[in-house]
Chain A
Amino acid sequence: MIDKRIASCRDAVADIFDGATVMIGGFGEAGSPIELIHALIDHGARNLTVINNNTGSGHVGLAALIENGQVGKMICSFPRTANSTVFPDLYRAGKIELELVPQGTLAERIRAGGAGIPAFYTATSVGTPLADGKKHEMFDGQEFVQERCLTADFALIKSLNADRYGNLIYNKTARNFAPIMAMAAKCTIVQTQECVEAGDIDPEVVVTPGIFVNRIVTVENPAQESKLVNAGVTYP
């Protein structure tokens, strides 16, 4: 019998190893799997390469993971936020590496990774510093730059509903990177607000088919990042 449900966030992240590449869903706080990230902080794996659009807010969630010294490299499109100096301080001190990627290229590199496509060409970033050193090629009279795919050892994402097979649906714009990260990681770990019976999610509306999911933890009332930030909460 297939049953991907795991009892706790702690158990779900227990085998994340030092030096692992970890994709973390979310665009700002929408879709951020904050309980899984906090479990990863408790777990303590270090020298991680983290792929996320941003670098977190305040001193909770992704920002706390970075602040705790567990991240050696960030791959992201927008590492600045109004309310966090965690990443900028470490970056200026030379203590964390940054690979800056245009947002759509980031998404497409992840999608390609999940689809078994090692590289692709795009017009995005041609003529800019972010294309420096990359292979360029002309197609139909226009110049394109080659981008490599991204894969990961683990993905941490958040869903609204899941069933024991790992079929997922999401809440509004919290979907963002989760479906493609689920495809691109060897082991995809989901925190879901509600775990439902198989068949309760209409097959017509399944967004992420269960084949892309490995572990499901139910977190009924996930913390809201901005509320924690506004309250000045620090994790751990």
Chain B
Amino acid sequence: MSNLTMSSLFMSKISQHNHEDASDRIGWDREQMAQKAAQDIPDGAYVNLGIGIPEKVARYVPEGREVIYHTENGLLGMGPTPEDDEIDFELINAGKKPVSAIAGAAYFHHADSFAMIRGKHIDVCVLGAMQVSAKGDLANWSTGAVDAIPAVGGAMDLVAGVKTIFVITQHTTKQGEPKLIEHCSYPLTGRGVVSRIYTDLAVIKVTERGLEVVELAPGVDFDYVQQRTGCELLRP
């Protein structure tokens, strides 16, 4: 199946959902954040998409690029959500939702699936975040609260093994607290693992000198982003 067909299939499932985020708010909406990340996925890449906004990235990979999606429960060549009459509850993704398999897909057991991840065979992984530090540390599995039920899934394996980690996240929490900060206060998922961050306000690259703004959302200036960030940002 060509990537063009793939993209349009992913597209057809979501056209009705495109009106969320319509608003008076400033910056990119979630679809646009996913679109920004998708632009940076190269042709021929093997890609793992996390649950939530990262899942949307598949819809926006530019035409002309063929991308193979890996889901860590044991499928390479994951296709879009099937029609209701084609759902098989033994064909699911890591979020335990029904998916399809493209022509040319492969199934495998968990140790092989995580060998793909831990053996550095997957090119790009897109994840959500609770916090990212100035050094690219990621916290996305636990707030460390005493009464929380800790659950990690495959996040620590993905950040340790995948060659390039993209993070898609709102720039601040719902309470307006910065999520990009000097040091993560939540328990880490991995140290120094994040390459790029796509927020509603900016695209940011993790460099040895700190977080560098690569692109600002329309109507957003550098100072506006800096005020909402818990560490010093570098200008493009």
State the A residues within 8 Å of B (CB). Answer: 27-31, 53, 77-80, 87-88, 91-92, 98, 100-108, 110-111, 122-130, 170-180, 207, 224-226
How long is the Cα–Cα vector from A161 to B92 in the complex, in angstroms?
20
How long is the Cα–Cα vector from A207 to B191 in the complex, in angstroms?
36
Question: Is the CB–CB distance between A123 and B152 below 8 Å?
Answer: no
Interface residues of B in 145-183 (CB under 8 A from A): 147, 149-157, 160-161
Interface size of B by CB at 8 A reads 39
B26 interfacial contact with A, CB 8 Å: no
* Cβ-closest 3 pairs across A and B: A104-B114, A104-B157, A127-B191
Q: List 20 A-B contacts (CB under 8 A).
A: A27-B73, A77-B151, A79-B151, A80-B151, A98-B150, A102-B152, A104-B114, A108-B111, A108-B118, A123-B118, A127-B191, A128-B188, A173-B90, A173-B92, A175-B107, A180-B109, A207-B109, A224-B89, A225-B89, A226-B89
Interface residues of B in 52-101 (CB under 8 A from A): 71-75, 88-92, 96, 101
Question: Is the CB–CB distance between B156 and A29 below 8 Å?
Answer: no
Query: Are A125 and B156 also in contact (CB < 8 A) when A92-B147, A174-B90 are?
Result: yes
How long is the Cα–Cα vector from A123 to B114 in the complex, in angstroms?
12
Chain A residue at smallest Cβ distance from B150: A100
Question: Is the CB–CB distance between A123 and B109 below 8 Å?
Answer: no
Q: CB-CB < 8 A to A106: which residues of B?
A: 110
Minimal beta-carbon separation of A124 from chain B (angstroms): 4
A102 is contacted by which of B113, B137, B157 (Cβ under 8 Å)? B157
Question: Is the CB–CB distance between A128 and B111 below 8 Å?
Answer: no
A107 is contacted by which of B88, B96, B114 (Cβ under 8 Å)? B114
Residue picked from B74, B88, B110, most chain A C-beta under 10 Å: B110
Question: Is the CB–CB distance between B73 and A78 below 8 Å?
Answer: no
B236 interfacial contact with A, CB 8 Å: no
Question: Is the CB–CB distance between B160 and A122 below 8 Å?
Answer: yes
Question: Is the CB–CB distance between A123 and B107 below 8 Å?
Answer: no
Question: Is the CB–CB distance between A29 and B89 below 8 Å?
Answer: yes
State the B residues within 8 Å of A (CB). Answer: 71-75, 88-92, 96, 101, 107-111, 113-114, 117-118, 137, 147, 149-157, 160-161, 187-191
Question: Is the CB–CB distance between B91 and A172 below 8 Å?
Answer: yes
Question: Is the CB–CB distance between B191 and A126 below 8 Å?
Answer: yes
Q: CB-CB < 8 A to A170: which residues of B?
A: 107
Question: Is the CB–CB distance between A111 and B111 below 8 Å?
Answer: yes
Question: Is the CB–CB distance between A173 and B75 below 8 Å?
Answer: yes
How long is the Cα–Cα vector from A27 to B154 in the complex, in angstroms?
12
Question: Is the CB–CB distance between A79 and B111 below 8 Å?
Answer: no
Minimal beta-carbon separation of A155 from chain B (angstroms): 13
Chain A residue at smallest Cβ distance from B71: A173
B88 is contacted by which of A123, A172, A179, A225 (Cβ under 8 Å)? A172
Query: Are A77 and B107 also in contact (CB < 8 A) when A104-B118, A108-B118, A127-B190 are?
Result: no
How long is the Cα–Cα vector from A234 to B211 in the complex, in angstroms?
52
Minimal beta-carbon separation of B215 from chain A (angstroms): 29
Q: CB-CB < 8 A to A124: which residues of B?
A: 118, 156-157, 160-161
Minimal beta-carbon separation of B129 from chain A (angstroms): 15
Chain B residue at smallest Cβ distance from A125: B156
Question: Is the CB–CB distance between B88 and A100 below 8 Å?
Answer: no
Question: Is the CB–CB distance between B149 and A107 below 8 Å?
Answer: no
Question: Is the CB–CB distance between B160 and A100 below 8 Å?
Answer: no
Query: Are A77 and B153 also in contact (CB < 8 A) when A30-B92, A122-B160, A224-B89 are?
Result: yes
Q: CB-CB < 8 A to B117: which residues of A?
A: 104
Q: CB-CB < 8 A to B71: which residues of A?
A: 173
Question: Is the CB–CB distance between B156 and A108 below 8 Å?
Answer: no
B187 is contacted by which of A108, A123, A128, A225 (Cβ under 8 Å)? A128
Q: CB-CB < 8 A to A27: which residues of B?
A: 73-74, 92, 96, 110
How long is the Cα–Cα vector from A174 to B196 in the complex, in angstroms?
34
Question: Is the CB–CB distance between B91 and A173 below 8 Å?
Answer: yes
A179 is contacted by which of B109, B150, B154, B189 (Cβ under 8 Å)? B109
